[in-house]
Amino acid sequence: MKLMINHQTHYQYTENAKNSIQYIKMTPQSNAHQQVLSWAVSVPGKTQSQFDSFQNVWLTSTQRYTYQNLTIMAQGIVEINPQSMYAIETDLNPLLFLQLTPSTLCNVEMKAFAAHYVPQISYQNLQRLSEALLAHMPYISYSTVVNTTAIEAFEHQQGVCQDHSHVFIAMCKSLGIPARYASGYLYVPDSSHLASHAWAEFYLDGFWHSFDISNQLYTPSSHIYVAIGRDYWDVAPVRGIREKGGIESMSSIVQVLPC
């Protein structure tokens, strides 16, 4: 299935900004699940490309001039395999994804919740945990922010795909199961405007398995991978610093269309 992606991020500032650096992870790579037929990231300034420690493509863009508007655009065509049963493999040791981060910590209540649905580690019990998590934390748009931790989202009993992924990853780690955060795009028929998406993956019985908690999808058949990491902060599409600029506002749009 060939998909065309158009991802635009627009920044506006109330005052002139200057001397900014943008760290951009918006470039998918070809693998067993997907083939990148064409892709380009457009951003003003000078740009360098490298790989981060998780083998994601990492662009660094610098703007040494003054501006009040900045647009980053990523677009291209990716062909995915809708028959994929497993998540993508990498050369990274799965044990790396047992490492805790501030966003993926568990409290006592979360550990008890996980133990209740996963008395024994199995794919079926982890699927039960996924279903229970969505019931406990319904998807509610704009109910959290990027800084919301797994503990905070679980206590508030609501969240978005980032929160579902963080909570599930935290619980997997508490059970001794390597788990990672995947970011990218999700294709849903009859919908042309979608936000960037995130889902969780865990390592069991020699394979990485993909669990999209928010949509209760258990294969990556509709997903385009962009980056993987321990949590959102490892894969954030855009992070940066700047001088001045006053108050920043940001808007984005993502289109995923068949072609």
pLDDT above 90: residue 46 = yes
CA distance 249 to 225: 27
pLDDT score of 195: 64
Residues 6+ away with beta carbon under 8 Å from 206? none
In this structure, how many other beta carbons lie within 10 angstroms of the beta carbon of residue 57?
A: 18
* Radius of gyration of the chain, Cα coordinates, nearest whole angstrom: 18
pLDDT score of 142: 87
Name the pTM for this structure.
0.94
Domains of the chain: 2-81+237-258 (2.60.40.2250), 94-235 (3.10.620.30)
Label residue 193 by pLDDT band (50, 70, 90).
very low
Q: Which helix (H) or strand (E) holds 148?
A: none
Q: Which helix (H) or strand (E) holds 144?
A: none
Task: Please calculate the CA angle 110-125-106 and round it to the nearest 5 degrees.
Answer: 15
pLDDT score of 151: 98
**How does pLDDT run across 54-84, given as a tens digit for each residue?**
999 999 999 999 999 999 999 999 999 999 9
Q: Is the dihedral of CA 122, 111, 213, 233 positive or negative?
A: negative
Kindly state the tokens that stand for 85.
């049963």
**How does pLDDT run across 200-211, given as a tens digit for each residue?**
999 999 999 999
pLDDT above 80: residue 192 = no
**Percent of all residues in the chain with a pLDDT value above 70, rounded to a whole number:** 98
Across the chain, the runs of DSSP E, i.e. the strands, are 2-24, 34-42, 46-51, 57-63, 67-80, 179-186, 197-204, 207-211, 223-229, 238-244, 248-258
Q: Which helix (H) or strand (E) holds 95?
A: none
**How does pLDDT run across 113-168, given as a tens digit for each residue?**
999 999 999 999 999 999 999 999 999 988 999 999 999 999 999 999 999 999 99
Mean pLDDT within 180-203: 84
> Is 232 within 8 Å of 146 (Cβ atoms)?
yes
pLDDT score of 80: 97
Alpha carbon 193 to chain centroid distance? 17
Label residue 196 by pLDDT band (50, 70, 90).
confident
- 161-174 and 108-117 helices, crossing angle to 10°: 80
Q: Render 150-172 in DSSP notation, one character per residue.
A: HHHHHHHT-B-HHHHHHHHHHHH
Which residue in 158, 223, 216 sits closest to 184, CA to CA?
223
**How does pLDDT run across 164-186, given as a tens digit for each residue?**
999 999 999 999 999 999 999 99
Label residue 191 by pLDDT band (50, 70, 90).
low
